[in-house]
Structure 1
Amino acid sequence: MENKSHFTKDFLFGSAAAAYHFEGAYNQDGKGVAISDVVPNAPSDGRTKEPTEDNLKLQSIDFYNRYEEDVELFSELGLRCFRTSIAWSRIFPTGIEEKPNEAGLAFYDRLFDKLLSKGIEPIITITHTSEMPLYLAETYNGFANRKLIDFYLKYVETIVTRYKDKVKYWLTFNEINALLGMPFYQAGIDETNGVTEEEKFQALHHMFVASAKAKQLIKGISPDAQVGCSFISRLTYPLSSKPTDILAAQEENLFYDFFTDIQAFGEYSWFIKNYFKKNEINLSIDTEDMKLLKENTMDFLAFSYYNTSCSTYDKDAGEKGKGNIFETVKNPELVEDEWGWQMDPIGLKVFLNHLWNRYQLPMFIVENGFAAIEQLEKRDEKLTVRDDYRIKLIGDHLKQINEALADGIHVIGYTNWAVMDFVSGTTGTMLKRWGFIYVDYQQDGSGTLNRYKKESFDWYHQVIETNGSSLFDC
């Protein structure tokens, strides 16, 4: 690996969060109840009828009321961009109101103005996983119902019209393929009696149409805006050199290419069409849908990259694991964190190569990082966290991005997950700490909410300040 930085001053070094993870203030200033407000634990554990006190996300780390001091920290960190989301239910509390909630709109005006005053580019996810107003899920069954497209587009038109002069980069959805693993949490679909594959793919079709229409709408309001749609990377290797395992990996990768094929080509791939035929999945597709998808492909590909997995035709072979929300087969060559996620920095370059070769579209890595159970300790008379593991892991991933840049692959930016500690979406706990900033908010709901810089804070600041050159310091 060449010890030379290929990052430029235009590269969007940043960090990320999302409204439901860290804003708190779940019922403040007219905000309505969102899906996340009734899922206190892991999404697979189900929902409650109403928001309950054990849901740490209701208060979370109170970014809503502390954003000014937090953005000061982001500026000190040196961020060139910050990815977050707009809480849909802050703008339309139930999703069906005629007029938006002005208090919610005003909050994001203040936030974006603060970010821009510090030279930080807002990268905005229009709606993050679980931020749909609960009313739309309970009344319409979420994106299983085509009517959701219109409610979503009204919301999109409202926020893009309002923030067109403040936001250049928009993501229509977060991790759209997460619907396959958690239909209610991602798309508001009732899971009480189970959800069939056909229902999942029909809802996905509605989301892809909504995304394409949103792209069309955004460009009409703000022609220079850049629009993408985030997905979870699902790179898989053969478990062995057996031809059957190689074929299994190829087929799984082709299956997940479905999500990017629609974004980049505006078409359903031959592979997914064949999959639908084999599994008797029959979708209702409007005659105008495919034309719309074809004419409104994404400007860039945005994705989360945390891990890779293996594939095998022998269902009893290999050790089973959990990679993000999907069941996986573990790679015996990789180590895993305490949550069972296998770390694979080189896999990021493999994935970038794959996407660039297939699509030739700019790419934005909008999530990547490392979570651990952490405690404050005193060093040099200051409270901090020694997180060498985070420094090494993020550094190793950035070096792979650097290699991709050297090869001529177009990567727009990198926003790691996450800028600061907050409530985990996949577990509902404060045990998984992701950030450069430690927040004193504990699993039992106690804590001062004070912020403390971890050792990785100064390290990442140096990476950004030197355009990545410090990654190669001995």
Structure 2
Amino acid sequence: MRLILYITTLLCACSCYAQEYAFPPNFQFGVATAAYQVEGGWNSSGKGENIWDRLTHTRSELITDGSNGDIACDTYNKAIEDVQLLKSLGVDFYRFSFSWSRILPTGTANKINPDGIRYYNEMIDELLANGIKPFATMYHWDLPQPLQELGGWPNSVIADLFADYANVLYENFGDRIKDWITFNEVGVFCGGGYESASMAPAYNGAGFGVYLCGHTVLRAHGKAYRLYESKYKASQGGRVGITIDSGWYEPASESPVDIEAAETAIQMGFGWFAHPIFSTDGDYPPVMKQRIAQKSAEEGFSRSRLPEFTSEEIAEIRGSSDFFGLNHYTTNRCTIIPDGWGTPPSQWTDAGALCSQDADWEPSASSWLKVVPWGFRKLLVWIKNEYNNPEVVVTENGFSDRGELRDCRRINYYNSYLEQLLKAIHEDGCNVSGYTAWSFMDNFEWMRGFTERFGLYYVDFNDPNRPRTPKMSYYVYKNILATKRVDWKYSPDSFDECEF
């Protein structure tokens, strides 16, 4: 009886809270995908090879189920149909990414693929015809393979080639796309691609490659932003930003060393890319420059492993974003690294923080993703305080399972995290203007293949037609979009109610 009363009280509290706070009238909601994860058509009609094509075809043993994105969700052939699913959901915008190799098969702007221009034009026009804003990401981890053969992102030349690519996108699509993201999650693709070999192109350049990659990407972002600012902004009237990912870093204890470890971890993981763009001074965070220089000297190097920006580059990058794109999923607790832990050099021994997750936090299908809603609010408040309350667009947030249609755990995740977002807006004054659920549909989840599912739509990858089936979370998210409120009591008629 006590348990029943407790659950009833909890639901009432959630319901009363949800009725108290609503999202602002101009707040916008969307869903997201990425080109390699959904498009398929990997070598169709002039598209070139990218680093994920090469990795999955030559080193399939690195993918959990040995799968690849050759067909994926087949949005290359189903994009127009998918727009109707987006319209049914009621989103304000659709965040998608361009495939660099579909636009520029060799990675360079001297050869533009007409079919790539056609494909994205048709999708963009269909979105706009159905009242949905295209929110476009230029780069979501799929570097053209010919550019990787030049060394990939650690090669500084790639910054200029990216600016050329951005120019092609602005010229062909900027009359209709008003919201641009240059890069998605730089720390992830630099760390996984050039530090830990945990994603394409799967090189291990511990302590070096990750910083060279990040340095080139920041320069590329600055160039692409200033290009739009000088050549296109007046006529096209859009805005350009970047998406930076971060968990929240909670001190493992109240001890000063753990508090310092957590702050250093967020500065050297999140501030690595946020500080050069959003801080008043620009450049890398001072603690990052200091620690890597010190570690490098201790390891016998004649100079810091972290590259230096010129004063002109600092100025070009500082302020180069019209909004703060934020991807957030989970939280970690951090403590100081014990003596002798880890093998230097690496970005984590540089940071000096050992971060992990509590065993009693609710898990997901992804080993790294635990459900910790309060961390979301703390991160938003940290951004507000650290960078003078910039406009934040949450460009990804979501939960993985094994593909259940009655996905109560995903619903719990969305409701819980959106409640914390409402608190951040109404109680903390955080300037958040939009929220994007990851993801629109189940897709190729990088090194995990099709074993982890994030979608609001279930996709049957065993069926050549790749049918999409709405999950219970689809209906719950649709209700949130329609009412601009979180309602824990809401349950679609076609499913049994969830028990929270």
Question: Which interval holds the TM-score relative to the shorter structure?
Answer: 0.7 to 0.9
Q: Provide the residue aligned with 2:321 in structure 1.
A: 298
Distance 1:136 1:389 in 2: 41
Q: Provide the residue aligned with 1:371 in structure 2.
A: 400
Which residues of 2 match residues 68-217 of structure 1 at below 5 A? 68-129=80-141, 131-138=142-149, 140-184=150-194, 191=203, 194-217=204-227
**Aligned sequence identity (%):** 28
Alpha carbons of 1:231 and 1:327: their partners in 2 closer, same or farther (altered >3 Å)? farther
Offset at residue 426 of structure 1 (A) = 3.6
Offset at residue 246 of structure 1 (A) = 2.4
| TM-score (norm: length of structure 1) | 0.87
Match of 2:466 among 449, 456, 462: 449
Q: Does 1:20 align with 2:36?
A: yes
Misfit runs of 4+, over 3 Å:
41-47, 184-190, 284-287, 469-474
Question: Amino acid of the residue matched to residue 46 of structure 2?
Answer: G
Instruction: Deviation per CA, 1:300-358: give whole Å up to 9, x if none.
Output: 11121111111122549xxxxxxxxx994122452222322211111100100000111
Aligned length: 444
Offset at residue 190 of structure 1 (A) = 7.0
Cα RMSD for the two superposed structures: 2.8
Question: Amino acid of the residue matched to residue 209 of structure 2?
Answer: E
Distance 1:133 1:171 in 2: 18
Distance 1:290 1:80 in 2: 35
Q: Provide the residue aligned with 2:494 in structure 1.
A: none
Distance 1:421 1:247 in 2: 39
Alpha carbons of 1:472 and 1:349: their partners in 2 closer, same or farther (altered >3 Å)? farther
Distance 1:353 1:41 in 2: 43
| TM-score (norm: length of structure 2) | 0.83
Check whether the contact 2:154–2:216 (CA below 8 A) recurs between aligned residues: yes
Offset at residue 290 of structure 1 (A) = 1.7
Check whether the contact 2:55–2:200 (CA below 8 A) recurs between aligned residues: no
Q: Does 1:272 align with 2:300?
A: no
| SS of aligned partner of 1:9 | coil
Q: Does 1:312 align with 2:324?
A: no
Distance 1:132 1:102 in 2: 19
Offset at residue 238 of structure 1 (A) = 1.8
Distance 2:146 2:485 in 1: 45
Question: Amino acid of the residue matched to residue 364 of structure 2?
Answer: D
Check whether the contact 1:164–1:222 (CA below 8 A) recurs between aligned residues: no
Gaps of 5+ in 1: 48-52, 317-325, 376-384
Distance 2:414 2:200 in 1: 33
Question: Amino acid of the residue matched to residue 285 of structure 1?
Answer: F
Check whether the contact 2:324–2:391 (CA below 8 A) recurs between aligned residues: yes
Offset at residue 45 of structure 1 (A) = 6.3
Offset at residue 199 of structure 1 (A) = 3.2
Deviates more, 1:296-305 or 1:330-339: 330-339
Q: Does 1:229 align with 2:257?
A: no
Q: Provide the residue aligned with 1:401 in structure 2.
A: 421
Q: Provide the residue aligned with 1:382 in structure 2.
A: none
Offset at residue 150 of structure 1 (A) = 1.5
Instruction: Deviation per CA, 1:371-397: give whole Å up to 9, x if none.
Output: 11125xxxxxxxxx1111111111111
| SS of aligned partner of 2:184 | coil
Alpha carbons of 1:447 and 1:205: their partners in 2 closer, same or farther (altered >3 Å)? same
| SS of aligned partner of 1:6 | coil
Which residues of 2 match residues 427-438 of structure 1 at below 5 A? 427=448, 429-438=449-458
Distance 1:136 1:307 in 2: 33
Check whether the contact 1:80–1:121 (CA below 8 A) recurs between aligned residues: yes
Q: Provide the residue aligned with 1:467 in structure 2.
A: 484
Deviates more, 1:254-263 or 1:409-418: 254-263
Q: Provide the residue aligned with 1:319 in structure 2.
A: none
Q: Provide the residue aligned with 1:349 in structure 2.
A: 377
Check whether the contact 2:276–2:284 (CA below 8 A) recurs between aligned residues: yes
| SS of aligned partner of 1:288 | helix
Alpha carbons of 1:41 and 1:466: their partners in 2 closer, same or farther (altered >3 Å)? farther
Check whether the contact 2:139–2:182 (CA below 8 A) recurs between aligned residues: yes
Q: Provide the residue aligned with 2:475 in structure 1.
A: 458
